[in-house]
């Protein structure tokens, strides 16, 4: 029995870092992405709706092997974890009521055409509007990252440790309109207690 390719296990340096800060260079990747704004905790909010849209497309692509649309180069894989880019107004805190992009990584074999097929397929099958879902390429580059274990509200402590570490290594923060505060959610917040949640926190940096 072939094991499905698991990005978390195959690329541990990007998905399973240690709980101490480190510098990493992240290669270009493609994502399923939905951009929006508003409180992520709102039950009927845009953020929760965006996650449903992302998974709708992610599983349409994953299950394509069973249908008429055969994607060239397809291999069986585990859908990668949910990720989020958050815009910060100030480095001191993350403005969660502000703008965000929620994302799921795409396997390398998925082209823009395959993605657009998946949007059409999901729209027809699920009778839902997927027009907010975009194909996004992100070349993250040089970053400082750390595994944060605990509640999302306690992230500033992890971020502070990351910033102290990068400065000691001769780097400065480089969050811009194109380079974002980045989180990768390894725990399902509906099932895992806040103090046990694992989240990769990543910030773009540059040499001082």
Identify the pLDDT of residue 94: 54
118-133: burial string, b at 16+ Cβ within 10 Å, e else: bbebbbeeeeeebeeb
Identify the pLDDT of residue 95: 55
Q: Using the predicted structure, report yes or no on whether residue 91 has a pLDDT greater than 70.
A: no
- 180 within 8 A of 204, measured Cβ to Cβ: yes
Q: Using the predicted structure, report yes or no on whether residue 42 has a pLDDT greater than 70.
A: yes
Identify the pLDDT of residue 40: 84
Identify the pLDDT of residue 93: 53
Strands 133-149 and 181-185: unpaired
For the chain, list the domains and their CATH numbers: 7-207 (3.20.80.10)
pLDDT in tens, 144-201: 999 999 999 899 999 999 999 999 999 999 998 899 999 999 999 889 999 999 999 9
Query: What pTM did the predictor assign?
Result: 0.93
| Residue 23 binned pLDDT confidence (cut-offs 50, 70, 90) | very high
pLDDT in tens, 26-40: 999 999 999 998 888
CA dist 115 and 76 (Å) reads 17
What is the average per-residue pLDDT within 9-13?
97
Q: What are phi and psi of 18, to 5 degrees?
A: -75, 170
Q: Using the predicted structure, report yes or no on whether residue 22 has a pLDDT greater than 70.
A: yes
């Amino acid at each position: 029995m072939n094991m499905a390719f698991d990005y978390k296990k195959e690329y541990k340096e990007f998905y399973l870092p240690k709980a101490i800060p480190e510098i990493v260079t992240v290669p270009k990747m493609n994502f399923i992405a939905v951009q929006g704004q508003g409180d992520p905790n709102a039950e009927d909010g845009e953020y929760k709706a965006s996650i449903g849209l992302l998974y709708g497309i992610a599983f349409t692509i994953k299950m394509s092997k069973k249908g008429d649309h055969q994607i060239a180069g397809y291999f069986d894989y585990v859908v990668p974890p949910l990720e989020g880019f958050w815009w910060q107004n100030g480095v001191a805190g993350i403005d969660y009521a502000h703008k965000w992009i929620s994302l799921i990584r795409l396997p390398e074999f998925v082209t823009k055409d395959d993605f657009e097929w998946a949007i059409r397929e999901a729209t027809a099958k699920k009778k839902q509007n997927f027009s907010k879902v975009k194909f996004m390429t992100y070349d993250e580059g040089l970053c400082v990252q750390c595994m944060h274990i605990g509640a999302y509200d306690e992230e500033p402590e992890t971020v502070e440790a990351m910033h102290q570490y990068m400065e000691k290594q001769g780097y400065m923060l480089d969050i811009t309109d194109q380079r974002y505060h980045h989180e990768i959610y390894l725990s399902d917040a509906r099932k895992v207690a806040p103090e046990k949640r694992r989240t990769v926190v990543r910030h773009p940096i540059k040499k001082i």
